[in-house]
Amino acid sequence: MSEAQVLLEVKDLKKHFPIHRGVFKKVVGHVKAVDGVSFRLRAGETLGLVGESGCGKTTVGRMIMGAYRPTSGNVWFQPPNGQPRIDLADIRPKQMKPLRRHIQMVFQDPFASLNPRMTVRQILAEPLVVNKVAKGRELEARVRELVELVGLKLIHLNRYPHAFSGGQRQRISIARAMALYPCVIVADEPTSALDVSVQAQIVNLSLEIQDKIGVAYLFISHDLGLVRHFSKKIVLMYVGRVVEYAPAEPLFARPRHPYTEALMSNVPSTRPEMVGHKIILEGDPADPINPPSGCPFHPRCLYAEEMCATVEPPLMEVEPEHLVACHFADVLNLTGCDALGCAV
Amino acid sequence: MVPTLEVQNLRVHFMLDEGVVRAVDGVTFSVRDGKTLGIVGESGSGKSVIGQSILRIVPPPGRIVEGKILLRMENEDGTKGRLDLAQLDPNSRQARSIRGRDVAMIFQEPMNSFSPLHTVGNQIIEALRLHSDVSKNEARNRAIEMLGKVGIPRPEHRIEAYPHQLSGGMRQRAMIAMALVCNPRVLIADEPTTALDVTIQAQIVELLKQLQEEFGMAILFISHNLGVVAEISHDVLVVYFGRVMEQAPVDVLFREPLHPYTRALLKSVPGIDTPVRSKLATIDGTIPEPSELIPGCPFFGRCDQCGGDSVCQDTPYVLTKVAENHSVACPLVCVAG
Amino acid sequence: MNQDKIRAEKYLNASTRQLIWWRYKKHLLAMAGLFCIAGLYVVTIFCEFLAPYDKATFHVDAIYAPPSSIRIFDQDGKIRRPFVYACTLEIDTETQQMCYVEDTDERFPIRLFVRGDTYEFWGLWESDLHLFGVDAPGHVFLLGTDRMGRDMFSRCLYGTRISLSIGMVGVFLSLVLGLTLGGISGYMGGWPDGLIQRIVEVIRCFPSIPLWMGLSAAMPPHWPALKVYFAITIILSLVGWTDLARMVRGKLFALREEEFVLAARFAGAGHARIIFRHLLPSFMSHIIVTVTLAIPGMILAETALSFLGIGLRPPITSLGVLLKEAQNVTTIALYPWLLIPVFFVILIVLSFNFVGDGLRDAVDPYSR
Ligand SMILES: Nc1ncnc2c1ncn2[C@@H]1O[C@H](COP(=O)(O)OP(=O)(O)OP(=O)(O)O)[C@@H](O)[C@H]1O
Ligand SMILES: Nc1ncnc2c1ncn2[C@@H]1O[C@H](COP(=O)(O)OP(=O)(O)OP(=O)(O)O)[C@@H](O)[C@H]1O
Ligand SMILES: [Mg+2]
Ligand SMILES: [Mg+2]
């Protein structure tokens, strides 16, 4: 079986935000929000992007959307109509415009991502109108189709966002993202503001849409359990860098990076018998303004040795498709979730 | 033994324009020294208001309309008694002295509980000197000791730090230090780890457990995260729509939940046995409007067990004991059991 | 139960504007302010008709006349329709001061829709109909007269007209300036933002009264009154726009990063569409609040300038011009009614402030 086409290939992507100080806005340093991230997203599949707060997940998503211009690196995008692939990192806004409809985003905050002054009908029609896809009766038909796709009712069309709960708003958000039938959706923590029971609804809806329409997701989350449920492959980030990039199954069976192991063991579990198997890391995640030398994880790593503080480990393939940035990936025998039997 | 804190049939109502919101509607529970009671529930179920009523800081137009909040007190003459916090005037001296000294609270966002204008150290010292008669120097030493205990490295330096100079995890630690510096008997933790990363969350949960062993206080741990509650609590209270749906020891509740709501909640999180990409169990419908008056089971209509059985709708809400320490408020379970 | 449902339905389908209005209505003071302002604007529109006299008509027989007392009981204690007695001027032989003595023999009933001074209503038609008045040779001076025997009540109405219109026109000019410059500043950022912010800072650094004084002093003295009027509004708005520009810029900076604006961008919307469809409606209400709160500032500034004698000049009658008459302590001691325009100023400023406050509380219907 041949693998699906690569839609998006991110290569060594970096984004350093300058820090300005003083009256003359002198640049005194950089927030290395994203500092070398590479991955591939294939048509119709889901790639999970996991990491702790501030590790640069949103920044990666926004660079793909063209909201931030990368400091360096490439975002190769393959338009679905067979044109040659384009580097979104190096493109003028004018050229970006026709490509936008192929890549859409679902935001984290259901209360900020819908314009409070527009009705649901207007919100859903907006992308269609802007891109001159449909007009008049056809527009109305498309809007109705979208509303049904995400499981809302037609009476909701005339309402304003304030009349909806968080979960319903997220449905509207998803409908808006689907309006142009994109081939990639960047979902930035779409469920982290929701209750678990509502989260399950949104997860089911997203899976359903993927099965029906075949869209590819870049699923950004800090919830390993959710990512596992969703994704075929997973990228784990730590302070702007990829520490591990692997298909879900081998990753959870046998993680190769100590950070992955710690993260898996820290996921709170509803099985009381699991308590006590935790790897409690010391300290806080590293500061992206001033990341540690060598391996960024070494100050918190249980297995760190001298060379970790000086030499930065490259992202190496330890098994087919399983990439790890750790000097001792081959030596360490780490316990994955499956062995722990934890909640994930 | 008398529990440290016992809440009996607590009702807290908010009188709003759109009607009376029964944020807490007949909640009963108790905690003992050295034990943790987890309170779980979805957003808007009334968890925070329970915490606020114990401290008597429910914001107006909220009011405790019924119920008792009994705090075990050791009087100066050595006699023991119980004080009903619900009867206290929230602005009285007694209420203020209980707040912080006997009952302390930590919040989700520690930034809001520290003043940005003063150093963390000064605020801890202030809190200590407000409640006990210690010299400034002594208070400072206690503050440093406490900061060290909550795992802040080099506390003698960090005591001079302003809240914004600390990371989220460090701020939460400092908040815990401030809450525990007067050695309270009850600690109310309202979603203390929700804003934190999993690795930091694990640290804080571990820390709270450790401190509980050392100081022996009772903890009320409020969270919407079932996993965290499972890890820290001895007993768990599941609340929905201002009412207790199920109460049980932690292992019982998570192994053999009885209430359909608890079961549905547990099933909606993907676990190790959930096949990848399978449909997750969802709870149909939405939480009723907060101002709605529901005499029967508030979960009626969303429940997949009763199937529209009118018994559920008509039987007045009552929490029934089904086993030692295990109570359920489901007519179906109680009748069958 | 059913009614609850209907109410809930109404809320669910409500637009932002409706939500704002519902919240605004709950604010008692704000509603009172709104009615006051509406009343004041009615006054400014119909003031020729509402005022019993023209603002320039002087009555030589009634110089510094105190407010007339309106009576309903006559000398014999009988109830009559409201009337005033005729007044005669007498000089107190001892103190050498003028005083008015009522002549109880002559009654002048107050009548509605009387004919009096002719005026041109908004330059459209000529008329001499007034809402109320008394037959000649009687006078009704609700708020007394000034040193030329002009009716203070009529003059206050005319003064309110000018003061309110200065507020409106001035704010409109500031709005145009503030919106464009603040808009450029907030939407583009970068160097245009830096430049505009520096200009704003420089303007705000000047103490405003000396700045206004300087600008008005630069006005040629021979200019006609109308030209002075426009010059003064421009001067006032030249300073007033800075607040608005700052507000607009701040809001834009915040909104530009809002996710719903990003979503519009990701959908492919162009700049114009983002500005006019997403950004402007979102802070329209904030603009209205700022404007409402800026109007009283303008009115106070005009009053201050005119009071100092460097603003509007007679024959234009603003509240400040009227107050200029009351600059002298002896005058105030003898004829305290000359201070009455102050109450009009207070009423206007308070009403606008209440309305502004009410709006500010209401505009964020989502904050709950
Ligand atoms: N526009 C910006 N200017 C400066 N710094 C930024 C900007 N956006 C993000 N950052 C910084 O970049 C880092 C990564 O931020 P990002 O929002 O991508 O993290 P994240 O992984 O999405 O975190 P979270 O889980 O909290 O959403 C953070 O340290 C943040 O402070
Ligand atoms: N200050 C208030 N004014 C009006 N209603 C309030 C107020 N505080 C709480 N409520 C209402 O009381 C109910 C319970 O609120 P509470 O904050 O306790 O929920 P919670 O369980 O803590 O939710 P969350 O997980 O979102 O924190 C809600 O319906 C809420 O609308
Ligand atoms: Mg993010
Ligand atoms: Mg809460």
The residue out of A179, A205, A230 marking a domain boundary is: A179
Q: Name the closest ligand to CA A37.
A: 1
Put simply, the chain B residues between 10 and 39 with a CB less than 8 A from any chain C CB are 18-19
- Cβ of A288 closer than 6 Å to ligand 1, yes or no, is yes
* C120/C182 same-domain check: no
Interface test with A, best of C266, C279, C366 (most A CBs within 10 A): C266
* C145/C283 same-domain check: no
Name the average pLDDT for chain B: 87
* C78/C160 same-domain check: no
* C112/C166 same-domain check: no
Greatest C-alpha distance within chain A:
68
* Binary contact (B279, A165; C-beta < 8 A): no
Average pLDDT of the residues in B198-216: 89
Range from B128-132, B212-216, B285-289, C133-137 that averages highest in pLDDT: B212-216
Among chain C residues, the shortest Cα distance to A123 is held by C264
Q: Is A207 part of any domain?
A: no
Q: Which has more pLDDT, B118 or C142?
A: B118
Q: Is C220 exposed, middle or buried (0-12, 13-18, 19+ CB in 10 A)?
A: exposed
CA distance A269 to A271: 5
Hey, is the C-beta of A120 within 8 angstroms of any chain B C-beta?
no
CB atoms under 10 Å from CB of B228, counted, come to 25
**pLDDT at residue C7 greater than cutoff 80:** no
- Non-local (6+) Cβ contacts of B126 within 8 A are B118
Determine the distance separating the centroid of ligand 3 and the alpha carbon of A58, expressed in angstroms: 4
Q: Is C274 part of any domain?
A: yes
Q: Is A231 part of any domain?
A: no
Q: Is C120 part of any domain?
A: yes
**pLDDT-based confidence at residue A275 (cuts at 50, 70, 90):** low
Name the average pLDDT for chain A: 88
Hey, is the C-beta of A110 within 8 angstroms of any chain B C-beta?
no
Q: Is A142 part of any domain?
A: yes
Tell me the shortest Cα–Cα distance from A319 to chain B, in angstroms.
22
The single-letter code of the amino acid at C102 is E
Chains near B, with 3+ CB pairs < 8 A?
A: A, C
Residue A273 has what pLDDT?
62
Q: What DSSP string describes B75-100?
A: -TTS-EEEEEGGGS-TTSHHHHHHHH
Print burial letters for A242-281: b (CB count within 10 Å at least 16), e (below 16): bbbbbebebbbebbbbbbbbbbbbbbbbbbbebeeebbeb
**pLDDT at residue A211 greater than cutoff 70:** yes
Atom of ligand 1 nearest to the CA of A240: 14
Q: For the CA atoms of chain A, what is the radius of gyration?
A: 21
* C301/C198 same-domain check: yes
Q: Is A79 part of any domain?
A: no
Determine the distance separating the centroid of ligand 2 and the alpha carbon of A336, expressed in angstroms: 39
The residue out of A125, A153, A179 marking a domain boundary is: A179
**pLDDT at residue C293 greater than cutoff 70:** yes
- pLDDT tens column, C125-158: 788 878 887 777 777 777 778 777 788 888 888 8
> Percent of chain A beyond pLDDT 90?
46
CA-nearest of A273, A205, C340, A269 to B270 is A269
- pLDDT tens column, C174-201: 888 888 888 888 887 778 888 888 888 8
Determine the distance separating the centroid of ligand 1 and the alpha carbon of A67, expressed in angstroms: 13
CA distance A172 to A110: 9
Hey, is the C-beta of B203 within 8 angstroms of any chain A C-beta?
yes
Tell me the shortest Cα–Cα distance from C261 to chain B, in angstroms.
26
The residue out of C150, C170, C201 marking a domain boundary is: C150
Of C259, C273, C281, the CB nearest to A112: C259
Of C262, C269, C366, the CB nearest to A67: C262
Residue C3 has what pLDDT?
66
* Binary contact (A105, C260; C-beta < 8 A): no
The residue out of C115, C150, C185 marking a domain boundary is: C150
* Binary contact (A116, C268; C-beta < 8 A): no
Which residue's CA lies nearest to atom 25 of ligand 2?
Answer: B43
Q: Is B1 exposed, middle or buried (0-12, 13-18, 19+ CB in 10 A)?
A: exposed
Chains near A, with 3+ CB pairs < 8 A?
A: B, C
Q: Is C220 part of any domain?
A: yes
Q: Is B336 exposed, middle or buried (0-12, 13-18, 19+ CB in 10 A)?
A: exposed
- Give backbone dihedrals phi and psi of A282, rounded to 5 degrees, phi first: -90, 150
- pLDDT tens column, B217-234: 999 999 988 889 998 999
Q: Is A139 part of any domain?
A: yes
Q: Which helix (H) or strand (E) holds B73?
A: strand B62-74
- pLDDT tens column, B142-177: 899 888 888 888 888 888 888 888 877 788 888 888
CA distance B278 to A326: 33
Length of chain C (residues): 368
The residue whose CB lies within 8 Å of the most ligand 1 atoms, and thus the one to mutate among A15, A19, A37, A59, is: A59
**pLDDT at residue C366 greater than cutoff 60:** no
Which residue's CA lies nearest to atom 8 of ligand 1?
Answer: A59
Q: Give the SS3 label for residue B12.
A: strand
CB C349 within 8 A of CB C300: yes
CA distance A150 to A154: 11
Q: Give the SS3 label for residue A313.
A: coil
Tell me the shortest Cα–Cα distance from C191 to chain B, in angstroms.
31
- Cβ of B43 closer than 6 Å to ligand 2, yes or no, is yes
Hey, is the C-beta of B206 within 8 angstroms of any chain C C-beta?
no
- Cβ of B49 closer than 6 Å to ligand 2, yes or no, is yes
**pLDDT at residue B75 greater than cutoff 90:** no
> Percent of chain B beyond pLDDT 70?
96
Q: Name the closest ligand to CA A55.
A: 1
Q: Is A87 part of any domain?
A: no
CA distance B236 to C183: 54
* C141/C177 same-domain check: no
For residue C278, the 8-state DSSP code is: I
CB A205 within 8 A of CB A170: no
Hey, is the C-beta of B280 within 8 angstroms of any chain A C-beta?
yes
* C313/C196 same-domain check: yes
Q: Which helix (H) or strand (E) holds B65?
A: strand B62-74
Q: Which residue has the tokens 């206050």?
A: C156
- Non-local (6+) Cβ contacts of B233 within 8 A are B36, B37, B38, B221, B250
- pLDDT tens column, C59-71: 777 777 777 777 7
Residue B217 has what pLDDT?
92
**pLDDT at residue A258 greater than cutoff 90:** yes
* C189/C97 same-domain check: no
Q: Is A1 exposed, middle or buried (0-12, 13-18, 19+ CB in 10 A)?
A: exposed
- CA A141, distance to chain mean position in Å, is 31
CA distance B8 to B33: 18
* Token pair belonging to B227: 């996993």
> Percent of chain C beyond pLDDT 70?
96
ipTM score assigned to the predicted complex: 0.86
Q: Secondary structure of chain A: what % helix, strand, coil (to 5)?
A: 35, 25, 40
- Cβ of A325 closer than 6 Å to ligand 1, yes or no, is no
| Domain count for chain A | 2
Q: Is A313 part of any domain?
A: yes
The residue out of C107, C123, C150 marking a domain boundary is: C150
Which residue's CA lies nearest to atom 31 of ligand 1?
Answer: A54
Tell me the shortest Cα–Cα distance from C282 to chain A, in angstroms.
7
Which residue's CA lies nearest to atom 30 of ligand 1?
Answer: A54
Q: Which helix (H) or strand (E) holds C118?
A: strand C111-121
CA distance B242 to B275: 34
What CATH number corresponds to the domain at position C178?
Answer: 1.10.3720.10
Q: Which helix (H) or strand (E) holds B334?
A: helix B331-336
CA distance A165 to A110: 9
Give the angle A163-A169-A174 at the CA atoms, nearest 5°. Answer: 150
For residue A295, the 8-state DSSP code is: S
**pLDDT at residue B32 greater than cutoff 70:** yes
Residue A268 has what pLDDT?
81
Tell me the shortest Cα–Cα distance from C18 to chain B, in angstroms.
16
* Token pair belonging to B241: 């729509």
Determine the distance separating the centroid of ligand 4 and the alpha carbon of B190, expressed in angstroms: 7
For residue A118, the 8-state DSSP code is: S
CA distance A96 to A88: 7
Residue A276 has what pLDDT?
55
The CA–CA distances, whole Å, from A123 to A100, A128, A279 equal 17, 10, 46
* C127/C176 same-domain check: no
Tell me the shortest Cα–Cα distance from B19 to chain C, in angstroms.
10
Residues of chain A with C-beta less than 8 angstroms from the C-beta of C15: 117, 119, 160
The residue whose CB lies within 8 Å of the most ligand 1 atoms, and thus the one to mutate among A15, A17, A71, is: A17
Determine the distance separating the centroid of ligand 2 and the alpha carbon of C54, expressed in angstroms: 62
- Cβ of A57 closer than 6 Å to ligand 1, yes or no, is yes
Domain that holds residue C113: 59-150
Q: Is C42 part of any domain?
A: no
* C220/C279 same-domain check: yes
Pairing of the two strands C111-121 and C98-109: unpaired
Q: Is C203 part of any domain?
A: yes
The residue whose CB lies within 8 Å of the most ligand 2 atoms, and thus the one to mutate among B16, B24, B40, B49, is: B49
| Domain count for chain C | 2
Q: Is B148 exposed, middle or buried (0-12, 13-18, 19+ CB in 10 A)?
A: middle
Q: Which helix (H) or strand (E) holds B321?
A: strand B320-323
Residues of chain C with C-beta less than 8 angstroms from the C-beta of B18: 7
Chains near C, with 3+ CB pairs < 8 A?
A: A, B
CA-nearest of A114, A85, A116, A79 to A99 is A79
Q: Is C54 part of any domain?
A: no
- pLDDT tens column, A297-337: 999 998 988 999 999 999 999 998 999 999 998 888 887 76
Residue C368 has what pLDDT?
41
Determine the distance separating the centroid of ligand 1 and the alpha carbon of B168, expressed in angstroms: 14
CB C302 within 8 A of CB C320: yes
Average pLDDT of the residues in B277-289: 82
Residue C198 has what pLDDT?
87
Q: Is C286 part of any domain?
A: yes
Determine the distance separating the centroid of ligand 3 and the alpha carbon of A8, expressed in angstroms: 20
Q: Is A23 part of any domain?
A: no
* C349/C221 same-domain check: yes
Q: Which of A188-197, C26-35, C279-288 is least confident?
A: C279-288
* Token pair belonging to B87: 């009867």
Residue C194 has what pLDDT?
84
**pLDDT at residue B124 greater than cutoff 70:** yes
CA distance C253 to B202: 37
- Cβ of A221 closer than 6 Å to ligand 1, yes or no, is no
Domain that holds residue A133: 116-179
* C335/C305 same-domain check: yes
Hey, is the C-beta of A276 within 8 angstroms of any chain B C-beta?
no
Of C15, C262, C269, the CB nearest to A160: C15
The CA–CA distances, whole Å, from B286 to A50, A226, B303, C366 equal 29, 22, 11, 20
Q: What DSSP string describes A125-185?
A: HHHHHHTT---HHHHHHHHHHHHHHTT--GGGGG--GGGS-HHHHHHHHHHHHHTT--SEE
CA distance B121 to B161: 7
Hey, is the C-beta of B84 within 8 angstroms of any chain C C-beta?
no
CB B36 within 8 A of CB B232: yes
Hey, is the C-beta of B281 within 8 angstroms of any chain A C-beta?
yes
